[in-house]
Amino acid sequence: MHISNETPLEILILGGGVAGLTAAMALAKFSPESAPPKIRVFEIRPKPGVIGGAVNLTPNALRLLDRLDVLPIMRENNYGMEIDAIEIFSVYQPVQLGESSFRGPEGKGLGNPPYKALRVTRADVMKALVEAVEKCPNVEFTCGKRTTKIDEDAETGITLTFEDGTTAHGDMLVGCDGIHSATRLKHVEPERKEIYSGIANAFGFAPLNKDNPKIQDPSQLHFYKTAINFARRGMMLSSFYEPTKTSVYVGGVLQVPEIESRDGWKVRGADQEATKQDMRERFATDDVVFDDLKALIDTAEDWFMWPISTLPPGGRWATERTMLLGDAAHGMAPQGEATGIVLEDTVLFARCLARQQELGTGGFKNAFEAYERLRRDRINAAFTESGAVIKTVQDAGWLGHKIKCFVVPWFLWFTSGKREKHFTEDVTTSDLGF
């Protein structure tokens, strides 16, 4: 099937999280004005998901959210805390090891226009995305839709069948349904299943207005806005995530033995006292020099833990009419800018599709192949970076931790130019190569 800028496309999206909603916004934003698509997003949950911790939106991520008209909504609602730099510490030393800066040469941020970073809860990101989608006339968002079957015909299109017996038909399907993607497992590459990475993420939120004399005021904390705190048994993030600075996000990336079933992980993840005790044993031992870390762990509420799963590198991303984006295509361990990578996926894909429509000489497969040519190397590099993160947070002895603390400042210095170059990139205007 040839696609052009004369015939509007009917696009189906599975997954109504960050990836799915940004994909919808990007496809609406970059489509030919002469043929705006009809976009339908289907989410398995009964309502938009707001569970999760606080994510770091890097300058390139904020740039894309601004272009998609989402960042203004976040600013209007005072979502998030602007971050100048991520401070790096060892919990056993009272001095900073280094930092990863977003200040830029003039202290205003990176890129043109400049952006710093933003630490914000996933719930607030979702609120802003839902509001933006509601303002988009050609995007329809439906929750409570569990997909049971995906039928693809190279000539006639895609048909989704849902558990409630209803169906949806479109010209193209975009799978943005995460690491456990039904689009991948039922259709694109069923044999490519997620693998437990060996590490888990634990988090809670610590209010500063409780009766703990060590954390009643932000000035009592050992960090300014956000810090990564390395220990011998994992890494702890402590960060403000909203402008009043009355609460701190406390997150741990930990080596945890595998639990065989998803139900088992749900039980373990919901055991708040067990998670808090695990964090104490790693980051609140007698040799930890920062008393505020111990107080934050003790004060934190709403603890939760979940396993970090990954996909094998490479894999198949597309069929004739279906494309996987985000974790559905390349789920990996966190490496500092996971949300930014997802946003880049959606914008680049939308631009490739629109460009193919403008050319009017090929079909979906041509757009898909162009997107993969642009994206594969970047994703492969991110996989390598995520593997390094897994090694960094694995349990280590005294000597291993000392070596890590020696290497970190040099690593930050050596890679600073590469990070800044990436943070200044703008995939809304970059060369597509065709």
Q: What is the DSSP string of 364-390?
A: HHHHHHHHHHHHHHHHHHHHHHHHHHH
Pairing of strands 81-83, 139-143: unpaired
The CATH fold of domain 195-310: D-Amino Acid Oxidase; Chain A, domain 2 (3.30.9)
Both tokens of 25, joined, read 């916004």
pTM of the model: 0.94
For residues 224 and 88, the answer to whether their CB atoms sit within 8 Å is: no
For residues 1 and 149, the answer to whether their CB atoms sit within 8 Å is: no
pLDDT score at 181:
98
Percentages (nearest 5) of helix, strand, coil residues in the chain: 40, 25, 35
For residues 147 and 15, the answer to whether their CB atoms sit within 8 Å is: no
Q: For residue 227, give the 3-state DSSP assignment.
A: strand
CATH classification code of 10-79+122-193+312-393: 3.50.50.60
Q: Per-residue pLDDT for the chain (434 aa), expressed as one digit of tens each?
A: 678 888 899 999 999 999 999 999 999 999 999 999 999 999 999 998 877 899 999 999 999 999 999 999 999 999 999 999 999 999 999 999 999 999 999 999 999 999 999 999 999 999 999 999 999 999 999 999 999 999 999 999 999 999 999 999 999 999 999 999 999 999 999 999 999 999 999 999 999 976 788 888 899 999 999 999 999 999 999 999 999 999 999 999 999 988 877 777 777 777 889 999 999 999 999 999 999 999 999 999 999 999 999 999 999 999 999 999 999 999 998 877 889 999 999 999 999 999 999 998 889 999 999 999 999 999 999 998 888 888 888 899 899 999 999 998 888 888 888 888 889 999 999 999 99
For residues 62 and 110, the answer to whether their CB atoms sit within 8 Å is: no
Q: What is the DSSP letter of 155?
A: T
pLDDT score at 300:
94
pLDDT score at 391:
86
Cα 275 from Cα 252, distance rounded (Å) = 10
Pick from 201, 147, 134: nearest CA to 174: 147
Both tokens of 133, joined, read 């989608």
Cα 263 from Cα 261, distance rounded (Å) = 5
Cα 55 from Cα 286, distance rounded (Å) = 30
pLDDT score at 270:
77
Peptide bond preceding 334: is omega within 30 degrees of 0, i.e. cis? no
Amino acid making up residue 166:
T
**For the chain, what are the domain ranges?**
10-79+122-193+312-393, 195-310
| Residue 136: partners with Cβ closer than 8 Å, 6 or more residues away | 24, 25, 28
Output the CA–CA distances (angstroms, integers) from residue 215 to 250, 293, 423, in the order listed: 13, 9, 33
Pick from 235, 251, 286: nearest CA to 394: 235
